[in-house]
């Protein structure tokens, strides 16, 4: 039954009740009825184009299964914070333990709910450190692929709200390792800072974590500075769209093209910032290959800085031409998440260092 028919039915019921029942809810006005009709038609039209677009990409057999999985509520896990007091966490979760299962495909301790129920909210331990972060296990897996070493110098170029930044900080040594977390949007950057401060002790933040606010498409100020760069790119987020009617109405196939251009610009900057021999992990939560393998392909074929794909050893996910895709219909609900690991293999011969004054620096410390 359509939304309009459903509203009419309710109106009819209310009408019936009027002769002996609820007078508070009048039948829908003509104006509202028209507006609902318009919205339904718009949504149906977008859904038809959306289906056609992704059916072409995924095939008539796979697409309905993937779509069904995408429409289900997003699955999360609890990523335990190594800086939180273990005794406090054990005590807090003692009643949930039988429902929790430890994920075997990531090295940071992460727990999922066997019954897919909600976790108790994260909270502060005796030292004012938050105990765990709730996120998609695919996100932890993506940072796993970076094979972080305690002394790595890392850039997270699109970092807010901070799930992957936190998972990187779990693996760095505060004395020798360093993470720079970049986020262009000031409100999201504020949230990123709050997350870092709430999960990581002040002395560790002081020694190993920096937050900056540059435009990732123009992150050219620090050439060849990092061992590893994490690029979790802004993308079409189709799963999110399917759970947000208003956002979904705005979708069109053009969105992937626009996003892919921006993603390639950020990837160029990421590759520019990593040292020769270092790696960039490119990730999106899009299901469109335009935003995934095609971005990597363009960088390999047309980028001025040479890169090569690196094969990753992972326990879950489907291989794509240049990376891995974690699909919710194949992984018990995790994802979607695409990621690809590429190594910088040489220098950019055409690069001319920019004047420092031109750099788009914007830090709201
Ligand atoms: C997919 S989210 C990152 C999620 C984050 N890595 C995490 O795990 O919590 C992408 C982020 O990139 C930011 N962003 C978008 N365009 C950007 C740009 N040009 N430079 C830097 N950040 C950008 C968005 O504001 C958004 O916070």
Q: Where are the domains of the chain?
A: 1-8+31-60, 77-135, 137-358
Three-state SS for the chain is: CCHHHHHHHHHHHHHHHHCCCCCCCCCCCHHHHHHHHHHHHHHHHHHHHHHHHHHHHHCCCHHHHHHHHHHCCCCCEEEECCCCCHHHHHHHCCCCHHHEEECCCCCCCEEEECCCCCCCCCCECCCCCECEEEECHHHHHHHHCCCCCCCCEEEECCCCCCHHHHHHHCCCCCCCCEEEEECCCHHHHHHHHHHHHHHCCHHHHHHHEEEECCCHHHCCCCCCCEEEEEEECCCCCHHHHHCCHHHHHCCCCHHHHHHHHHHHHHHHHHHHHEEEEEEEEEEECCCCHHHCHHHHHHHHHHCCCCEEECCCCCCCCEECCCCEEECCCCCCCCCCEEEEEEEECCCCCCCCCCCHHHCCCCCCC
Measured from the CB, is residue 158 less than 6 Å from ligand 1?
yes
- Among 6-10, 27-31, 56-60, top mean pLDDT goes to 56-60
158 annotated as ligand-binding: yes
- 343 CB less than 6 Å from ligand 1? no
Weakest mean pLDDT among 12-21, 41-50, 139-148, 275-284: 12-21
Superfamily of 137-358 according to CATH: Vaccinia Virus protein VP39 (3.40.50.150)
Q: What is the pLDDT of residues 166-191, one digit of tens each?
A: 999 999 999 999 999 999 999 999 99
pLDDT classification of 19: cutoffs 50, 70, 90 = very low
61 known member of a binding site: no
- Give the closest residue (by CA) to ligand 1 atom 24: 234
Write the pLDDT tens digit of every residue in 312-346.
988 899 999 999 999 999 998 999 999 999 999 99
Give the mean model confidence (pLDDT) for residues 117-122: 95
Ligand 1 pocket, 160 CB below 6 A? yes
């Amino acid at each position: 039954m359509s939304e309009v028919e459903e509203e009419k039915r309710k109106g009819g019921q209310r009408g019936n009740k009027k002769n002996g029942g609820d007078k508070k809810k009048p039948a829908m006005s003509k104006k509202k009825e028209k507006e609902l009709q318009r919205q339904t038609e718009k949504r149906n039209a977008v859904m038809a184009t959306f289906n056609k677009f992704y059916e072409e990409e995924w095939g008539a057999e796979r697409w309905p299964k993937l779509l069904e999985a995408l429409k289900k509520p997003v699955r999360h896990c609890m990523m335990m914070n190594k800086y939180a007091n273990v005794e406090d966490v054990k005590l807090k979760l003692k009643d949930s333990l039988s429902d929790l299962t430890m994920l075997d495909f990531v090295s940071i301790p992460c727990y999922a709910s066997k019954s897919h129920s909600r976790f108790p909210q994260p909270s502060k331990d005796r030292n004012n450190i938050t105990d765990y972060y709730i996120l998609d296990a695919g996100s932890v897996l993506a940072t796993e692929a970076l094979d972080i070493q305690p002394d790595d110098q890392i850039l997270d170029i699109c970092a807010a709200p901070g799930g992957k930044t936190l998972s990187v900080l779990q693996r760095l040594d505060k004395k020798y390792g360093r993470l720079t977390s970049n986020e262009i949007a000031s409100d999201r950057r504020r949230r990123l800072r709050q997350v870092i401060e709430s999960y990581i002790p002040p002395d560790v933040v002081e020694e190993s974590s920096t937050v900056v606010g540059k435009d990732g498409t123009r992150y050219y100020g620090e050439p060849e500075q990092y061992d590893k760069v994490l690029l979790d790119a802004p993308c079409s987020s189709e799963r999110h769209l399917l759970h947000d009617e208003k956002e979904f109405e705005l979708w069109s196939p053009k969105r992937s093209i626009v996003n892919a251009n921006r993603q390639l610009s950020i990837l160029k900057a990421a590759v520019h910032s990593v040292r020769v021999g270092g790696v960039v992990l490119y990730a999106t939560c899009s299901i469109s290959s335009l935003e995934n393998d095609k971005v990597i392909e363009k960088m390999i074929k047309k980028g001025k800085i040479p890169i090569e794909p690196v094969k990753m050893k992972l326990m879950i996910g489907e291989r794509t031409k240049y990376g891995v895709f974690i699909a919710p219909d194949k992984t018990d609900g995790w994802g979607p998440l695409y990621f690809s690991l590429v190594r910088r293999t040489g220098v950019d011969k055409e690069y001319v260092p920019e004047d420092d004054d031109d750099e788009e620096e914007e830090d709201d410390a």
